[in-house]
Amino acid sequence: MLRFLLLRVLTTIPVLVLVTFVVFGLVLLIPGDPAVTIAGPDATVEQVAAIRERLGLDRSLLVQYWDWVTSAMSGDLGTSLYTSRAVATSIGDALPVSIALAGAALLVSLVIAVPTAIVSALRRGTWIDRVATLGSSLGIALPSFWLGLVFVLVFSLTLGWLPATGYVPFATDPAAWVTHLILPALTLGIAGAAESTRQLRGSIIGVLQQDYVRTARAKGLRGRMVVGKHVMKNASVPLVTVLGLQITALLGGAVLVEQVFGVPGLGQVAIAAVTTRDIPVIQGIVLVAVLVAVVCNLLVDLVYGYLNPKVRPR
Amino acid sequence: MTRTLPLDRPAATTTLEVEDLVVEVLTENGWATVVDGVSFSLGRGETLGIVGESGSGKSVTCLAIAGLMPPRQTRVRAGTLRLLGQDLTALDQRQMADIRGPRIAMIFQEPMSSLNPAFTVGDQIAEVLRRHEGLSRKASKARAIELLDRVGVPNPARRFGQYPFEFSGGMRQRVMIAIALACTPDIIIADEPTTALDVTVQAQILELLRAIQREHGMSVIFITHDLGVVADVCDRVLVMYAGQIVEGALLDELFEDPQHPYMEGLLMAMPRMDQVSEALVSIPGHPPQVGAMPAGCRFHPRCSYTREQCTHGDAPALEQVGPTHTTRCLRHPELTLRGTT
């Protein structure tokens, strides 16, 4: 298993190298010169040139790339062109918030999807199944920012149960941390829940027709054991694929939800950076996002190995 | 093996009594009867063969007895369904689940797909023991290794922790037998257990089943379409056609003196070593579709002895033609059918 892990980590290195090229190169494609933006509309050509030199923008691209990569590897992602804060610090502040939000959204998604899919698949064709299918269609179709506004209107403004906006770090007040996360997580998790429900329902229906499920029944196992053990372990494989995709999408999708609920996550930092062409921050965020995606893929592969012994290395 | 078990035996030695079993399945055109009034009894230690083509209702009969037909798409009715005196028709789903394993166990046709690919074979044996005998993880593992050893899986302690895909077809079927054997059931229902296997492996599996049955005095229902296998293992045979039993007899009676044209057809279609020159005769036509049963005798469209009386009215009744021999043919008194020796 350890060898598999090591091998799997090693194979991500070329991916990462490629990604650093793309991340670094993408910025070149963005129209506009950051030195011009920083210097302001009234700056002289000399002033702009001075800024370019200070930022190292006048050096060759390869040198700039190498400089950036080696610093990034030592944890130095540069300094924001505007706030003069270290990029690593900004990301370090925002990342835990985003991870908490994405994690909570994933939890919401699973808590809704797994029971719904199981009941739906076992009662296929009944009204429960039809309601669940309709619900998941709605969940996929409804835009998250609209859903977020409706939740705020109902649960905060009308019922007054939950705070409408803001974020409290866990270390400050765990209870407030939870209450502040509920609405954004619900908003963010519902689309994923709908997608997972569909996927899981389909795969459970497929697995229920397998001969080994009949064997499990023929052994006299209770229904809970047949479904919870024999069906679910096999039916979870497509779900894990979907979840792996969702986790990365959750970080991206969080941008809107973070705006609606005023959550200071990576999305907020990203928006600010993009609107000001704050290149080091953009690069840092994309790099972190890619790292998260790579780690998620690694986790998905490990879970595949647990669920399907055939893909395990031996 | 004794070949002289009478059809009607005292209750003390009867393991299973089935009377007037009817199974209906939901099709696009409503409920269709796939098993129609099947009745038989199974003696302790007896091996009863059920033969017939695919779709004749032989597997459905056994799944229904074990309570394994899906509840919403199927309806099962039975006049009597009694296992060692216990009325199975009175049991609900949960109570039937308690019966499966310790009382009735099953072995299926496809050893490749009948084991769960995601769990070790050892766990799949041990979980039966944990479920029904309340054994601990450790105790169930020890018993499962013993069982693997008993069914002839070499190196059982190591094989315990392996997954089904690491086993050959024959070895998987041995694992299925170990699962069935785990709680020493009163009845093992083997649904074409050797059909998917190589001929040499078939013989080994049949020998294993026979040995296990001798050891524990279990009753076995052996479903197959292979008359060679029937001749090898069964004491008594029921022949099913289109959801009904059309003939029932002790093994030798059935082969030497068939009383139903369908059975004669099956015997004629069986390849034989001692009659090399004779061409094989197949039964013309196809069995009727579910929900489209012919009037009169259900076999009449394919039967070479059909007369006008066979083609209308209800299906003929199952008639006693000897102390241990029944047939569902109107013309049996006048026909002399060919058997084998």
Mutate one of B63, B69, B72, B114 to test the A interface: name it (highest A CB count within 10 A).
B114
Which of B94, B98, B108 is the closest to A211 by Cβ?
A: B108
- Contact across the interface for A219 and B131, Cβ inside 8 Å: yes
Kindly report the nearest CA distance between residue B69 and chain A, in angstroms: 10
User: In this complex, is the C-beta atom of B167 within 8 Å of any C-beta atom belonging to chain A?
Assistant: no
At B51 the three-state DSSP class reads strand
Which of A212, A214, A219 is the closest to B101 by Cβ?
A: A219
Task: Fill in the DSSP letter of residue A152.
Answer: I
Mutate one of B104, B110, B116 to test the A interface: name it (highest A CB count within 10 A).
B116
Residues of B in contact with A215 (CB under 8 A): 106, 108, 114-116, 176, 179
- Per-residue pLDDT tens listing for chain A (314 residues): 677 778 878 888 888 888 888 888 866 766 667 777 777 778 888 888 888 787 777 778 888 888 888 888 888 877 777 787 888 888 888 888 888 888 899 999 999 999 999 999 998 888 999 999 899 888 888 888 888 888 888 888 888 788 878 888 888 888 888 888 888 888 888 888 999 999 999 999 999 999 999 999 999 999 889 999 999 999 999 999 888 888 878 877 778 888 888 888 888 888 888 888 788 888 888 888 888 888 888 888 888 888 888 777 65
H or E segment and range at residue A87: helix A87-122
Is the pLDDT at B270 greater than 50, yes or no? Answer: yes
Residue-level pLDDT at A300 = 87
**Greater model confidence, B76 or B7:** B76
User: In this complex, is the C-beta atom of B42 within 8 Å of any C-beta atom belonging to chain A?
Assistant: no
Residue B241 vs residues A245, B24, B255, B327: alpha-carbon distances, Å = 53, 16, 17, 12
Q: Where are the alpha helices (DSSP H) in A123-231?
A: 127-141, 144-151, 174-208, 211-218, 223-225
Is the pLDDT at B276 greater than 60, yes or no? Answer: no
Q: Where are the domains of chain A?
A: 2-73, 91-311
At B330 the three-state DSSP class reads coil
Segment B229-251 shows an average pLDDT of: 93
CA angle A209/A213/A214 to nearest 5° reads 90
Task: Say which CATH class A91-311 falls into.
Answer: mainly alpha
**CB atoms < 10 A from the CB of B312, how many?**
11
B260, B328 Cβ separation under 8 angstroms: yes
Residues of A in contact with B115 (CB under 8 A): 212, 215
- Contact across the interface for B100 and A220, Cβ inside 8 Å: yes
Residue identified by tokens 């070593």 is B273
Q: Classify residue A7 by burial, with Cβ atoms within 10 Å: 0-12, 13-18, 19+.
A: exposed
The number of residues in chain B equals 341
Is the pLDDT at B9 greater than 50, yes or no? Answer: no
Residue-level pLDDT at B160 = 95
Is the pLDDT at B341 greater than 80, yes or no? Answer: no
Segment B126-145 shows an average pLDDT of: 94
Which of A212, A223, A225 is the closest to B113 by Cβ?
A: A212
Half-sphere exposure (CA, 13 Å, Cβ side) for B240? 29
Look up residue A302 and give its amino acid: L
Complex ipTM: 0.86
H or E segment and range at residue B124: helix B121-133
- Contact across the interface for A220 and B132, Cβ inside 8 Å: yes
B225, B101 Cβ separation under 8 angstroms: no
Whether domain B11-241 has CATH 3.40.50.300: the reply is: yes
- Contact across the interface for B118 and A307, Cβ inside 8 Å: yes
B94, A194 Cβ separation under 8 angstroms: no
Q: DSSP letter string over A44-71?
A: -HHHHHHHHHHHTTTS-HHHHHHHHHHH
Mutate one of A212, A222, A234 to test the B interface: name it (highest B CB count within 10 A).
A212
Reading the block at residue A73, the tokens are 């590897």
Is the pLDDT at B10 greater than 50, yes or no? Answer: no
Residues of B in contact with A230 (CB under 8 A): 116, 118-119
Whether this model's pTM surpasses 0.95 = no
What residue of B is the nearest CA neighbor of A224?
B94
- Contact across the interface for A219 and B99, Cβ inside 8 Å: no
Task: Fill in the DSSP letter of residue A228.
Answer: I
Residues of A in contact with B26 (CB under 8 A): none
Residue B281 CA, chain-centre distance (Å), reads 25
The phi and psi torsions of A91 (rounded to 5 degrees) equal: -65, -40
Kindly report the nearest CA distance between residue A60 and chain B, in angstroms: 55
Strand pairing partners for B83? B16, B86
- For chain A, the maximum distance between any two Cα atoms, rounded to a whole number of angstroms, is 85
Distance CA B195, CA B54 (A): 12
Is the pLDDT at B275 greater than 70, yes or no? Answer: no
